[in-house]
Amino acid sequence: MNARRHFIKISAGAAALAALPVLGTSPARAASASRTLRIGNQKGYLTLLKGRGTLEKRLAPLGVTLTWTEFAAGPVQLEALNVGSIDFGDVGEAPPIFAQAAGAPLAYVAATVPRPQSEAVLVPHTSVIRSVPDLKGKTIALNRGSNVHYFLVKLLEAHNLQYADVNLVFLAPADARAAFERGSVDAWVIWDPFLAAAQKTLNARILVDASGVVGNRAYYFSSLSYAKQNPDVIKILIDELSQIDQWGQGNRAALAAELAQLWGLPDDVANEAIGRVHFGTGPITKAILAEQQQIANTFFDLKLIPKRVNVLDAAPVGLA
């Protein structure tokens, strides 16, 4: 997540935060009471849920009203959570680690199934690089501290290469694409839909995806206090997201068409990206948090975060 994963220009995140109301969370109450759920959404499933209007209908009998604020990336969403401006959002693997290291009151509340084919190492179609060991000594572009940063570290380990055996250039996706297109880097580690766009428009070749290396999940988060005080709201919200997930699994073409519009990408790019998505959204487990702990430990070892993070501190209420 991070900064997880849309072919969209970064918007003025600070302005979005300034425009948000600062509201306190309320305890779960009777249906006659009034509660607010403030959702921070990227252009993805939450945006689709907003458009359908089904969540508002299900929460109305509980006296819950909704506000929606769109963000361009996961880290900005988590900053909004940290300052008390939103109650819920969606994010990739890496941004929650940085948020916890910064003291954000984060609670993981749901996760997707692994989606390893949705991130990969790309090389030019004519590149002489044919295997992971061929990356030794090469220049590789990636987004620093992101899910693909972790993927590359584990990929190198799996092929008996050291982190220092490659030359990393830390670039945001748009800049990395430009460097890749110019031939300024030998490889690019990236996620969908940037991955699909490079395949379709630059004729880039996938050297290897994350299958068998890392999981690459997406997460839904709340604050520890909101999740504890409003379990009924969180349960309904996750159920609605699961229903969209189930619908998407049986209607990939329709899902791709909707996301193509949201992302501002050609239909064939969205179809490529959605074609390799694994569907499924479910509860957080200790095994899932153990995966996040490995990422946290790796980022601490790389000195990307200033202190060790205990991911269980962000465990949802009632985790067995």
Contact yes or no for 22/209 (Cβ under 8 A): no
Q: Which residue has the tokens 């003025």?
A: 12
Q: Which residue has the tokens 């984060």?
A: 106
Which domains occur in the chain, in start order?
13-114+217-314 (3.40.190.10), 116-209 (3.40.190.10)
Distance, in Å, from the CA atom of 192 to the CA atom of 248, rounded to the nearest integer, reads 16
DSSP 124-144: -TT-S--SGGGGTT-EEEE-T
pTM of this prediction exceeds 0.85: no
Q: What is the pLDDT along the chain (320 residues), one digit of tens a residue?
A: 444 444 333 333 333 333 343 333 344 443 445 789 999 988 888 888 998 899 999 999 999 999 999 887 778 888 899 888 999 999 889 889 999 999 999 999 999 999 999 999 999 999 999 999 999 999 999 988 888 999 999 999 999 999 999 999 999 899 999 999 999 999 999 999 999 999 999 999 999 999 999 999 999 999 999 999 999 999 999 999 999 999 999 999 999 999 999 899 999 999 999 999 999 999 999 999 999 999 999 999 989 899 999 999 999 877 75
Listed in sequence order, the residues at least 6 apart from 226 whose beta carbon sits closer than 8 Å to its beta carbon are 25, 87, 88, 107, 234
Q: Which residue has the tokens 């519009």?
A: 261
Contact yes or no for 221/30 (Cβ under 8 A): no
Listed in sequence order, the residues at least 6 apart from 171 whose beta carbon sits closer than 8 Å to its beta carbon are 141, 142, 143, 179
